[in-house]
Amino acid sequence: MTFSQLNYVLEVSRCGSINKAASKLFISQSNLSNSIQELEKELDIKIFLRSSKGIELTPDGSEFLSYIRPLIEQHKHIMTLYEQKNAKPCMRLSVATQRYPFAVKAFTELFSKDEYAKYEMRIKETGIYQIIEDVYNNDCSIGVIFISRESEDFIRKTLESRGLVFNHLKSLNPRVYFRKGHPLAEKEIVHFHQLIDFPYVVFDHGQGKSLYYTEEVNLEGFKVPEKLIFVHDRATMYNIVTHSDAFSIGSGILSEGFCDNDIISLPIACNNADVMKLGWIKQANKKLNEIEEMYIKQLEESLKNQ
């Protein structure tokens, strides 16, 4: 008696016909009939009564069917269980990042390589506070953030209290974002006083949260304009800057193909420019998996020529 024979009996019972069952099982009618007859001979019972009208279960056949159904289901369960265990593992990556196109570029180039047979990848753009919470709560394995001279002590203490570590990628001075046709777009360098009359687009970091969680660097000597526009996502910031004389301040990294082509970034004249330290965070005691390590390498590659 084999599991193939048991499956044959079950399928014939479902179909009520040798011919229909053979078609569903992709075997010949004669092979199916012979296999069931061999089983009946082995067990010394009649499972089916055959007639010109078709087939039907005998009392012995009905009893036999009640025994084999749980066996077949258990057999399927065991086969599925070990097929999954022997299959290639699913690679998982979950990233929370500030509104940085280079982080999205690294993410895209990673899965575009098609090196993994099976993966689950997630990415979200949000503020520093939420990134720290997501990595702390294990909702995301990697967080991409920046820290400045002003915020470094606060952010590092916050990370340490949550068992997180900051890994430095690159340091750079912040720059100002304009549309290409902006009145200041032809300048080689922008001075603070030249920005005062233009609308300033900033990311809303949420009420009640420390100012150290702000998305923009607090530059010494920079007087915040009276015209403020708060946004929540990068696409909205790009749209506003592209279609107005508004400006924003950030890393200045405009990854080709991942930013609006009508936006440029210019250096800011500042004697004590507050260096932005770009980096990534993770749980201190957590080892990165293969795809997470590859993402970090892609981040480094995306920033190499910036």
Do 41 and 98 share a domain, yes or no?
Answer: no
**For the segment 195-216, what is each residue's pLDDT rounded down to a tens digit?**
999 999 998 876 556 667 777 7
**Structure tokens, 239:** 């749209």
Residues 119 and 253 in one domain: yes
Residue where a domain terminates, one of 86, 119, 150: 86
Specify whether 192 is located in the same domain as 49. no
Same domain (yes/no): 130, 106: yes
Supply the pLDDT for residue 96: 96
The 10 Å Cβ neighbour count of residue 4 is 11
Which of 86, 106, 130 is at the close of a domain? 86
Give the integer Cα–Cα distance in Å for 215 and 84: 43
Same domain, 8 and 68: yes
Q: Which long-range contacts (CB under 8 A, 24 or more apart) does 37-43 make?
A: 38/5, 39/1, 39/5, 39/8, 39/9, 42/1, 43/1
Domain that holds residue 70: 3-86
- The verdict on 48 and 172 lying in the same domain is no
Same domain, 162 and 182: yes
Neighbour count for residue 299 (Cβ, 10 Å): 27
CB of 143 closer than 8 Å to CB of 158: no
pLDDT value at position 252? Answer: 82
Residues 187 and 214 in one domain: yes
Residues of the chain with pLDDT under 70: 83-89, 113-116, 206-211, 257, 271-274, 305-306
Q: Which of 86, 118, 140 is the last residue of a domain?
A: 86
DSSP assignment of 56-94 equals EE-HHHHHHHHHHHHHHHHHHHHHHHHHHHHSPPPEEEE
In this structure, the answer to whether residues 64 and 110 fall within a common structural domain is no
**Number of structural domains in the chain:** 2
Q: What is the CATH number of the domain that holds 233?
A: 3.40.190.290
Do 136 and 162 contact (CB within 8 A), yes or no? yes
The count of other CB atoms within 10 Å of the CB of residue 262 is: 14
- 125 & 273 share domain: yes
**235 and 163 belong to one structural domain:** yes
- Whether 54 and 126 map to the same domain: the answer is no
User: What local confidence, expressed as pLDDT, does residue 244 receive?
Assistant: 95
Q: CATH number of the domain that 79 lies in?
A: 1.10.10.10
Cβ distance 32 to 18 under 8 Å?
yes
Angle value at C-alpha 235, between 109 and 238, nearest 5 degrees: 105
Report the pLDDT value the prediction gives residue 86, as an integer from 0 to 100.
Answer: 61
